[in-house]
Amino acid sequence: MTHPTFQQALDAGECFLFDGSTATALHDRGITLQRSFEECNLKAPDLLLAIHGEFLAAGAQVLTTNTWGAGRLKLAARGLEGQMDAINREGMALAKQAITQQGARAWVAGCIGPLGVRIEPWGPTSFDEARALFREQATPLIEAGADLIVLEAFEDLNEIHQAILAVQELGDLPIAALMTTNDEGQALFGAEPDWFIKQLDTWGAHLVGLIGGNGPAPHLRLLERLKAVTAKPIVLQPNPGLPHLVDGRLIYGASPEYLGGFAARALAAGARGVGGCSGTTPAHIRAMRGAFRQERAFVQAGGGFELKPHEQPQPEVPFAYRSRFSLKLAQGEFTYTVELVPPKGMEYDKLVAKTRQCRALGVDAINVPDGPRAMARMSALATALIIEQQVGLETILHYACRDRNLLGMQSDLLGAAGLGLRNILAVTGDPPKLGPYPQATAVFDVDAIGLVNMLKRLNTGLDLGGAGIGKPTSFSVGVGANPVAADLDREKARFRYKVEAGAQWAITQPVFDADTLFRFLDFTEALDGKGGVPIIAGIWPLKSLRNAEFMANEVPGAFVPPSVLTRMAKWTRAEDQVKEGLAIAQEVIEIIRPRVRGLQLSAPFGQVELVAPLLPKREDA
């Protein structure tokens, strides 16, 4: 007898019972969490065949392949990337073999999970790269005969969008797009279910829904909200409650009977598919199967959905009006900034005095690094605020991704905006191993590219989840650039992403060689066809040979040519080395000045007098 395709059954209005968790079943059979569950497709096929058979015997109509973590990146973490194709094909073959052995009327869903890395706008992996990785995994699943593709347990709406596009590029196979949320139904960054479900619908998913979470109750509470924004079939696959660790095993508290009751209520309320996630056993599926024997009315809901007024992006403040520093850049004026690091303790009188020196010298802004070289100092945000309040000189707040999660970043940035700080230099940050606290934990929820995206969103009046914040922020957004990066192709690609994300200017690492800077400027000036974003060159007047050797060997991203070291080594007296360091800086400035929009002068050891000769003479001096 020929069974209908999954699409035909879907079009006929059938309801579907998905299976439970193969990973839970493998763990129950002794496969530890330290092993790759997906590798079992090759190393323990009989085990997988038996698990699929148990779910089928319990009444499952859709088997999901044991390939949730079988993408290249997750497999690479275990040294298995070379077996990716085989693992996915064998996963599909085992599920199909189980159906054939039982002569069951069932379908196989090729299962694809998240990549395991953050993608743009919050991470360094681009949309194109993410889509290519998803396409790479989907190809063997589809070629091996998948009846549908299930995109399972995604939290990032941008990421699942790329997965949908990847599958669509390979054909018209049905796609089930299932998101994981908190108890309130929000996905990553607070995305509301009404919003993300409608987006999945718009992007062409054939089934939409929820998976995982803390049990069936939140899914049931959200079902009416989902039905109000989509007419697509809705699938709910909760965990059977919260897990508890008992003798090294994860035990889920919800009984099979409880999940059976959930399935009956979900189907009666209009869901078209139910199943289970982590912790769901064949016993749970058997109890859920009982709900399909009860008569139910098919409830289809439609209706449009529009962005709420507070979710509409607001116009950004024009660049020239964001700060005095922005105005100078917008008007094509040459800018001068000086970098002063925050104090090691809480006493800031000396820093304020140095800042007043800078103001008297005609400096436009003070650069305030954020934990440079992973050292703990007074917070850069507090330091910038002190400078602006006590001296009246604008600051450029360096903000590093190393130390804060996304929520903390948003809170900090809203606080900075509320306190009147306007210029932000988005940096990824040096890892803790470079500093005196190598055991400190680095966060790196996002890198500089993701941070620029966050700033861009706040500048349009939206928070991370797309909700309105009221009045938009008006940050002038800059980024770092390294013209002498060891992997220059990667540096250029990342710089392009930063500009595309919304960077409006950039400050380079210290420049000691004009030619390398010019080669990088050739690239940046061609980015948008309008001369590129303004580039401010970093200048570090070397104080001594020891200082030069330190820069050359211990400062990440800095490059001091051997010729510069040779020049500094010619002198033995300290005052002569200071003069040579200034001469080198002045020579570089004279060469590069026509092609850059400003200079960031680093004052070695906070000695402002060392950079004073590099600043133009004030007319009123």
Residue 339 and residue 274 share a domain: no
- For position 311, what pLDDT does the model report? 59
Q: What is the mean pLDDT of residues 561-587?
A: 92
In angstroms, the CA 85 to CA 65 distance is 14
Q: What is the mean pLDDT of residues 132-157?
A: 96
Q: Give the tokens for residue 585.
A: 């800086």
In angstroms, the CA 138 to CA 518 distance is 43
Residue 372 and residue 477 share a domain: yes
Residue 334 and residue 284 share a domain: no
Q: What is the mean pLDDT of residues 611-619?
A: 82
Q: Is 578 exposed, middle or buried (0-12, 13-18, 19+ CB in 10 A)?
A: buried
379 pLDDT tier (thresholds 50, 70, 90) = very high
Q: What is the mean pLDDT of residues 589-593?
A: 96
| Strand, coil or helix: 225 | helix
Q: Give the tokens for residue 33.
A: 């969490």
In angstroms, the CA 176 to CA 207 distance is 4
pLDDT at 9 > cutoff 50:
yes
Given a contact cutoff of 8 angstroms between Cβ atoms, the answer to whether 150 and 195 are in contact is no
| Strand, coil or helix: 44 | coil
Q: Which residue has the higher pLDDT, 81 or 557?
A: 81
Three state DSSP letters for 337-351: EEECCCCCCCCCHHH
In angstroms, the CA 92 to CA 523 distance is 46
- What is the DSSP code (8-state) at residue 293? G
Residue 182 and residue 131 share a domain: yes
- For position 213, what pLDDT does the model report? 81
Q: What is the mean pLDDT of residues 551-571?
A: 86
In angstroms, the CA 123 to CA 134 distance is 16
**273-322 tens-digit pLDDT:** 999 988 888 999 998 898 775 433 222 222 222 334 445 789 999 999 99
pLDDT at 246 > cutoff 60:
no
- 440 is a domain residue: yes
Last residue of some domain: 256, 277, 306? 306
Residue 294 and residue 338 share a domain: no
Beta bridge partner(s), residue 537: 599
- The domain spanning residue 47 has which CATH number? 3.20.20.330
Least confident segment among 332-336, 371-375, 381-385? 371-375
Buried b (16+ CB within 10 A) or exposed e, 318-342: ebeebbebbebbbeeeebbbbbbbb
**519-554 tens-digit pLDDT:** 999 999 988 666 689 999 999 999 899 888 888 887
Question: How does the average pLDDT of the chain come out, rounded?
Answer: 87
Residue 118 and residue 60 share a domain: yes
Q: Which of 72, 188, 171, 199 is nearest to 129 (CA)?
A: 72
440 pLDDT tier (thresholds 50, 70, 90) = low
pLDDT at 512 > cutoff 70:
yes
- For position 242, what pLDDT does the model report? 54
Residue 573 main-chain phi, psi, to 5 deg: -80, 140
- 575 is a domain residue: no
Residue 330 and residue 292 share a domain: no
How many folded domains does the chain comprise?
A: 2
- For position 28, what pLDDT does the model report? 79
In angstroms, the CA 64 to CA 76 distance is 22
Please report where in the chains the tokens 């003798």 appear, as a residue. Answer: 247
pLDDT at 253 > cutoff 60:
no
pLDDT at 350 > cutoff 70:
yes
308 C-beta neighbours (distance < 10 Å), count = 13
In angstroms, the CA 621 to CA 360 distance is 9
Q: Give the tokens for residue 211.
A: 């998976």
Residue 483 and residue 527 share a domain: yes
**166-200 tens-digit pLDDT:** 999 999 999 999 999 887 788 887 788 888 999 99
- Of 193-197, 374-378, 474-478, highest mean pLDDT: 474-478
Number of H helices, E strands in the chain: 22, 18
- For position 306, what pLDDT does the model report? 35
- 567 is a domain residue: no
Q: Which residue has the higher pLDDT, 83 or 30?
A: 83
Give residue 99's Cα distance to chain centre: 39
Residue 467 and residue 439 share a domain: yes
Given a contact cutoff of 8 angstroms between Cβ atoms, the answer to whether 424 and 453 are in contact is no
Residue 299 and residue 424 share a domain: no
- For position 240, what pLDDT does the model report? 81
In angstroms, the CA 326 to CA 331 distance is 9
Given a contact cutoff of 8 angstroms between Cβ atoms, the answer to whether 351 and 378 are in contact is no
Least confident segment among 120-129, 285-294, 305-314, 563-572? 305-314
Q: Name the maximum alpha-carbon separation found in the chain.
A: 97
pLDDT at 77 > cutoff 80:
yes
- Compute the chain's Rg from CA coordinates: 29
% of the chain with per-residue pLDDT over 70: 90
- For position 423, what pLDDT does the model report? 97
In angstroms, the CA 6 to CA 10 distance is 6
In angstroms, the CA 85 to CA 405 distance is 35
- For position 607, what pLDDT does the model report? 87
- For position 618, what pLDDT does the model report? 61
- For position 217, what pLDDT does the model report? 85
* Strands annotated E in 384-470: 395-400, 423-427
Given a contact cutoff of 8 angstroms between Cβ atoms, the answer to whether 336 and 305 are in contact is no
In angstroms, the CA 463 to CA 407 distance is 10
pLDDT at 348 > cutoff 50:
yes
Q: Is 295 exposed, middle or buried (0-12, 13-18, 19+ CB in 10 A)?
A: exposed
Residue 302 and residue 425 share a domain: no
pLDDT at 455 > cutoff 60:
yes
In angstroms, the CA 173 to CA 152 distance is 16
In degrees, rounded to 5, the angle at the alpha carbon of residue 173 between the alpha carbons of residues 136 and 210 is 85
Q: Residue 496 is part of which domain span?
A: 319-542+584-612
Q: Is 618 exposed, middle or buried (0-12, 13-18, 19+ CB in 10 A)?
A: exposed
- 340 is a domain residue: yes
Q: Give the tokens for residue 46.
A: 């009989």
pTM exceeds 0.85:
no
Q: Give the tokens for residue 62.
A: 């859709």
- The enclosing H or E element of 238 equals strand 234-238
Q: What is the mean pLDDT of residues 576-580?
A: 93
56 C-beta neighbours (distance < 10 Å), count = 23
- 447 is a domain residue: yes
Last residue of some domain: 255, 272, 306? 306
- 547 is a domain residue: no
Residue 152 main-chain phi, psi, to 5 deg: -120, 130
- Helix 545-554, helix 562-569: angle, nearest 10: 160
Q: Give the tokens for residue 157.
A: 């709406």
Residue 336 and residue 287 share a domain: no
434 pLDDT tier (thresholds 50, 70, 90) = very low
Residues 6+ apart with CB under 8 A from 618: 361, 362
Residue type, 572: T
Buried b (16+ CB within 10 A) or exposed e, 64-77: bbbbbbbbbbbbee
Dihedral sign (CA 341, 343, 348, 350): negative
- The domain spanning residue 386 has which CATH number? 3.20.20.220
Last residue of some domain: 256, 275, 306? 306
Compute the half-sphere exposure of residue 261: CA atoms within 13 Å on the CB side of its CA.
9
Given a contact cutoff of 8 angstroms between Cβ atoms, the answer to whether 462 and 313 are in contact is yes
